[in-house]
């Protein structure tokens, strides 16, 4: 028993050490301080938004599951990279990310590997109310982060893209649409000040 526990804990540490790479993987987004944002920072802030927003939703959300999903939703990017949304999805993005999840979770004991893989797949499928909420919150956090950054960090494509990004993901909820409208209002005001 002790030998199995020791092996499992070593596997968990190895996975955690590999997951640390998410802290140094930079996104296109910039912080209000002028520094580029890491993927890990985005994942944390997205989970925080989900926690504070869940109580405003029309339907009850299993927030624990959402937070777990959001914690792992970008880990495949450690190996698959983080393509910029406004440039469009690479054709092989899903295959690269599925391969990356398998590679990462192979470091874990089988039970934890199945749990992480199931959370990631549920998020990607967008079929459950928790996955739909998580996906929408992911988009909304990104848009709000763009609004916090200096306009000089935006590409010309983002001026229009930021106003449509996430529209599909929020349309199922009055609350999420209202939040997107507020963020869009901020975006327009920021652009108008230029």
- pLDDT tens digit sequence for 167-188: 999 999 999 999 999 999 999 9
pTM value?
Answer: 0.93
How many structural domains are present in the chain?
Answer: 1
Structure confidence at residue 92 (pLDDT): 81
**How many angstroms from the chain centroid is the CA of residue 178?**
20
Of the chain, the end-to-end C-alpha distance in Å amounts to 64
Structure confidence at residue 180 (pLDDT): 98
Q: What average pLDDT does the chain have?
A: 94
> Read out DSSP for 130-169?
HHHHHHHHHHHHHHHHHHHS-GGGS-HHHHHHHHHTTHHH
Structure confidence at residue 34 (pLDDT): 95
Q: Tokens 């450690």 identify what position? A: 78
Range of 24's domain?
2-28+35-193
- pLDDT tens digit sequence for 66-124: 999 999 999 999 999 876 665 566 678 889 999 999 999 999 999 999 999 999 999 99
CATH number at 133 reads 1.10.3210.10
SS3 29: strand
CB 106 within 8 A of CB 116: no
Residue 1 has pLDDT above 80, yes or no: no
């Amino acid at each position: 028993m002790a030998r199995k526990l020791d092996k499992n804990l070593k596997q968990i540490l190895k996975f955690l050490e590999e997951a640390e790479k998410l802290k140094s993987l930079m996104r296109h987004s910039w912080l209000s301080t002028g520094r580029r944002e890491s993927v890990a920072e985005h994942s944390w802030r997205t989970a925080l938004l989900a926690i504070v927003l869940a109580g405003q939703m029309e339907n009850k959300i299993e927030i624990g599951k959402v937070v777990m999903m959001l914690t792992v939703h970008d880990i495949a990017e450690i190996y698959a990279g983080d393509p910029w949304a406004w440039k469009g999805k690479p054709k092989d993005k899903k295959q690269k990310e599925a391969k990356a999840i398998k590679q990462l979770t192979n470091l874990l004991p089988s039970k934890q590997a199945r749990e992480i893989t199931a959370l990631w797949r549920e998020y990607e499928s967008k079929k459950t109310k928790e996955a739909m909420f998580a996906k929408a919150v992911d988009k909304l956090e990104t848009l709000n982060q763009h609004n916090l950054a200096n306009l000089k960090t935006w590409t010309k494509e983002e001026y229009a893209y930021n106003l449509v990004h996430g529209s599909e993901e929020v349309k199922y909820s009055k609350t999420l649409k209202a939040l997107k409208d507020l963020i869009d209002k901020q975006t327009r005001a920021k652009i108008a000040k230029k």
